[in-house]
Amino acid sequence: MAWASAAIAERVSHLLGDSSENVVVISITLMVALLCACMIIGHLLEENKWMNESITSLILGLCTGVVVLAITRSTNSLVLEFDEELFFNYLLPPIIFNAGFQVKKKQFFRNFVAIVLFGVIGVFISFAVIAGGCGLIFPALKVQGLEIRDYLALGVIFSATDSVCTLQVLSQDDTPLLYSLVFGEGVVNDATSVVLFRAVESINLVEIDVFTILEVLGEFVYLYFTSTLMGIAVGLASAYIIKKLYFGRHSTDREIAIMILMAYFSYMIAELLYLSGILTVFFCGIVMSHYTWHNVTESSKVTTRHMFATLSFIAETFIFLYVGMDALDLDKWSRSDVTVATSAGLSATLVALVLIGRAAFVFPLSAFANLISRAPDTKISIRQQLIIWWAGLMRGAVSIALAYNKFTAISSINATMITSTIIVVLFSTVVFGLLTKPLVLWLLPPHLRSTDDSEPSSPKESDFYPDIQVPLLVNGEPNGAALMQNNASRQVGPVTSLRMLLRARSSSVHHFWRRFDDAYMRPVFGGRGFVPTIHEVSSEAALEAAQH
Amino acid sequence: MAWASAAIAERVSHLLGDSSENVVVISITLMVALLCACMIIGHLLEENKWMNESITSLILGLCTGVVVLAITRSTNSLVLEFDEELFFNYLLPPIIFNAGFQVKKKQFFRNFVAIVLFGVIGVFISFAVIAGGCGLIFPALKVQGLEIRDYLALGVIFSATDSVCTLQVLSQDDTPLLYSLVFGEGVVNDATSVVLFRAVESINLVEIDVFTILEVLGEFVYLYFTSTLMGIAVGLASAYIIKKLYFGRHSTDREIAIMILMAYFSYMIAELLYLSGILTVFFCGIVMSHYTWHNVTESSKVTTRHMFATLSFIAETFIFLYVGMDALDLDKWSRSDVTVATSAGLSATLVALVLIGRAAFVFPLSAFANLISRAPDTKISIRQQLIIWWAGLMRGAVSIALAYNKFTAISSINATMITSTIIVVLFSTVVFGLLTKPLVLWLLPPHLRSTDDSEPSSPKESDFYPDIQVPLLVNGEPNGAALMQNNASRQVGPVTSLRMLLRARSSSVHHFWRRFDDAYMRPVFGGRGFVPTIHEVSSEAALEAAQH
């Protein structure tokens, strides 16, 4: 052993010399080792009230950055550089797809109006507040070199709620309403940001007329419509292919491969066509979980569910590590020539504007949503509004990626903008992130939360153990009546007749969809109860034998 | 719909214009779409006697190459370029790891002597034949510009059996002995190739003395020893971490993530330390399936098994597509200035040398292995020898990657060597590959195969359905006695007393390992029967609820 370890030590020291050829291997090894460390530390800290996985990863990334800087004597920041392409093409899609795949669909569509309000109108309000605030305050801080276009870009960059952060601090099981609102908003506002960002870059700002505004609005409608449609189309295609091709001759590995590949395909084709890949892959996930997932073997069901969750989990951890390491890119810090005081002032301004910008739409829009809300149990209480406001404050990798995209040119002011973005991201993720869990506990203690959960906990899905198959949804309407009764009995406030009427309508939309789904969609695309449970004795037995 | 599709068409045509910025997005989208197509076509052709997945992918890759060339009017070969880094860092590890994870361990270790013989001595013989043959024949074909070092490199490049191809044509279930021999040889000879390649590159060829030869031999021993040890160490570490950390508080997604990350880490750390990553990750897979896999939850077991198989499947398909597309890299074809006749002559020579080189070691070494074999049921019959010879003839992406690595400089002769490699790879994969399935059927018809299967089909592993847990291996010796009886009753030839003695010794090695494993390893690292079956009601129930 001794000589082997000596030889290894000799090789390591040799390696540190020629860092040119092996940079890729070194950085992959380092990242994988750090990811392992994050998993283990995250597990150990899981019970901790304050910490969450993103903060652990961020801090570990920062520490690694310090160590790397110390070892390379401040010369090597190459290993750590943030790569937009890596982020958007490889890390983001699995996270958003998994969110769509695991989202509580009923809860999500119940709150659809509020989600769209937040995700579309909300971003506009926040954008206006932040862009306007920067335009007013930055000149006072003696920051020169920014044009109107840059202020507008800052508005977009800091208006995008980071859905990845939201996933980390809000729990779908504990606070389903809040989760679906904040996360849904995060997905929808990505599309809004894409359009806004493109509009800011391309529109002639001097001559804005009605026609330009209409054009931007048309672009919005086009983008939402096509992105969603694309996601649904790819999802349905996957369901159809698996249902048709694999009937009677299933192959677990091939099914899983097709699901992964088609999910990824939906994102890439949307990006290729300048749509919102995030919106597309999210809807693809929803459709896949509703149809495709029910057409595959038992093993595929277990595998896909956990595989997508695991890939998403690794990607999330990777992103936070990455952001943490990137924060120590000395090159950018040295290029920015503003004083520490100015830099602090800029960052503080941005954080304040983010706080105000979000408050400016969460409270008014919540009130509006409550006003038009059909079902009383989707009303957003003031405590919930506070959490929505707070949980969406975190800015993450999306902001950093947009900032890198916008402030590419090598200049002092651009470097300053990037370092300010990094400070805001670190501050908001760590400070706001640390406080979110305690805040949720304080504002919504577990005994209050039951009124929040409008969705009854679903009966144990017996799909995994095919012997005890319970035909839950086969006969058209599932346990809808029970659900309504359940909600009614939980009701605390007065139930007016108007509300009753509205609720009946909302329930009838759901009823109509169920009937349409059962009559036209499920017979073609499969889904629960429409595909006989698939056993795959032979291939499974072969695999078992292989394990001997 | 019409306006949407018109808008999409407009965008696509716009895209084809600016191919500079979107090349990455386009090529990812294209690759993912092609992978989907391969999966679907592969499924449709599964029953076909001739085709296998690798040939389908290769042909689809070739067709795509033609289409891309036609669309871009022979200008764009960028989308298709073969990237060594992508191949070795991302595509190869999942394939080899999965092979180790799913390999029949008992079968593999029974034939260990033969595997090492083939993988070490065999590669040397094949290397000598091919290098010598090229040195003799190439000058006669009037190919100039190659040095002795280049001939030696060609010997290495064309001696490496492609384990990926082997996986595709031989079935572990139908022909377990052949599979373990040919595939095991492929894994071991990777390490041999690495050392040989490095030796060829670095050794002073003019002054070869005893000391140099001893040095190379020492390097070999060092490499096999440390690579294997590294794999075992990382595998055991993963088992220990999961056993210690997760006891009583399991988290399926985190367990799976740790398994994936540590498997990948074993490969990367080996590459970083100039070891054989393939050997390391293969042994890591074996250890993980023996210990780690038994320490996780039921869902994790199902998920990891299928997830690794699926990732490996996608990577394999990707490689063949890639090789097919790469074959049409016009740049290289135009740089090579030899005539078509010379090119054909070169390729034919190489194919012939590959055939001879493999024959030169398979038959003598099989005879030798039969001579020293302890158990009569591991004897290699002449029909089996023919299949071993034939199934290992395919040269694949490893050869291409080595050729790119060696012949990097831009010169006519280097381009010729690369195009010749591509021709040999295409020819061997398609022609030899097409003929392998029928050959196996012809030489070993199913009724003959039973004598080949020395491993009794394992009893249904009941780990998935924890209620019917059968303590197979808990009491020290499993069904070893039954196994011996089973083999004895199947015996056809005469059983001499010497053979009985040898077989008793072989069985005692296994017995000793079992006792050591039960007494020292399993209590620390877990494994079947040493970790109570883990249910994870809470997280599973949460996931079920999420699906509603």
Q: Residue B169: what pLDDT?
A: 74
Q: Is the dihedral of CA A49, A54, A56, A62 positive or negative?
A: negative
Question: CA–CA distance from B399 to each of B236, B267, B282, B444 (Å)?
Answer: 32, 20, 19, 29
Q: Which of B186-190, B494-498, B519-523 has the highest mean pLDDT?
A: B519-523
User: First-to-last CA distance in chain B?
Assistant: 31
Q: Which of B40, B251, B299 is the closest to A302 by Cβ? A: B299
pLDDT: which is higher, B391 or B468: B391
B85-138 tens-digit pLDDT: 888 899 989 988 998 898 888 888 888 888 888 888 888 899 999 999 999 998
Amino acid (1-letter code) at residue A511: H
Q: Residue B543: what pLDDT?
A: 44
Residue A52: pLDDT above 80?
no
Residue A482: pLDDT above 70?
no
Smallest CA–CA distance, residue A136 to chain B, in Å, is 35
Q: Residue A205: what pLDDT?
A: 66
Does residue A26 sit at the B interface (CB-CB below 8 Å)? yes
Q: Which of A459-468, B364-373, B456-465 has the highest mean pLDDT?
A: B364-373
Contact list, B11 vs chain A (CB under 8 Å):
273-274
* Beta carbons within 8 Å of A474's beta carbon, 6+ residues apart: A529
Smallest CA–CA distance, residue B529 to chain A, in Å, is 14
Residue A414 tokens, joined: 């651009």
Q: Residue A477: what pLDDT?
A: 35
C-beta separation of B252 from B539 below 8 A: yes
Amino acid (1-letter code) at residue B403: A
Contact list, A52 vs chain B (CB under 8 Å):
none
Contact list, A102 vs chain B (CB under 8 Å):
543, 546-547
pLDDT: which is higher, A326 or B494: A326
Contact A36 B7 (CB under 8 A): no
Contact A314 B261 (CB under 8 A): yes
What percent of chain A has a predicted confidence (pLDDT) above 70? 76
3-state secondary structure of A479: coil
Q: Residue B33: what pLDDT?
A: 93
**A506 confidence band (pLDDT: 50, 70, 90):** low
Burial class (CB within 10 angstroms; exposed 0-12, middle 13-18, buried 19+) of A319 = buried
At residue B470's C-alpha, the angle toward residues B466 and B476, to 5°, is: 130
C-beta separation of B167 from B313 below 8 A: no
- Domains recognised in chain A with CATH numbers: 39-449 (1.20.1530.20)
- Dihedral angle of Cα B296, B299, B301, B306, to the nearest 10 degrees: -150
Helices (H), B336-411: 340-372, 382-391, 397-406
Contact list, B25 vs chain A (CB under 8 Å):
89, 268, 271-272
* Beta carbons within 8 Å of A325's beta carbon, 6+ residues apart: A61, A62, A64, A65, A68, A79, A80
Does residue A491 sit at the B interface (CB-CB below 8 Å)? no
Does residue A405 sit at the B interface (CB-CB below 8 Å)? no
Mean pLDDT along residues A363-372: 87
Q: Which of B28, B39, B229 is the closest to A254 by Cβ? A: B39
B328-372 tens-digit pLDDT: 777 777 777 778 888 888 999 999 999 999 999 999 999 888 887
ipTM > 0.85 (yes/no): no
**Closest residue in chain A to residue B288, using alpha carbons only:** A547
Distance CA B232, CA B286 (A): 8
Contact A256 B310 (CB under 8 A): yes
Q: Residue A311: what pLDDT?
A: 93
Q: Which of A32, A105, A307 is the closest to B303 by Cβ? A: A307
**B320 confidence band (pLDDT: 50, 70, 90):** confident
Residue B9: pLDDT above 70?
no
Contact list, B33 vs chain A (CB under 8 Å):
265
Q: Is the dihedral of CA B1, B5, B11, B14 positive or negative?
A: negative
**Closest residue in chain B to residue A23, using alpha carbons only:** B272
What percent of chain B has a predicted confidence (pLDDT) above 90? 18
Does residue A10 sit at the B interface (CB-CB below 8 Å)? no
Q: Residue A233: what pLDDT?
A: 96
Question: CA–CA distance from A213 to each of A31, A59, A217, A219, B82 (Å)?
Answer: 45, 43, 6, 10, 47
Contact pairs from chain A to chain B, CB under 8 Å: 217
Q: What DSSP letter does each residue of B452-517 carry, written as one string?
A: G--SPPPPPP-TTSGGG---SSTTSS-SHHHHHHHHHHH--S---HHHHHHHHHHHHHHHHHHHHI
Residue B489: pLDDT above 60?
no
> Could you say which DSSP state residue A456 is in?
P
Mean pLDDT along residues A186-201: 75
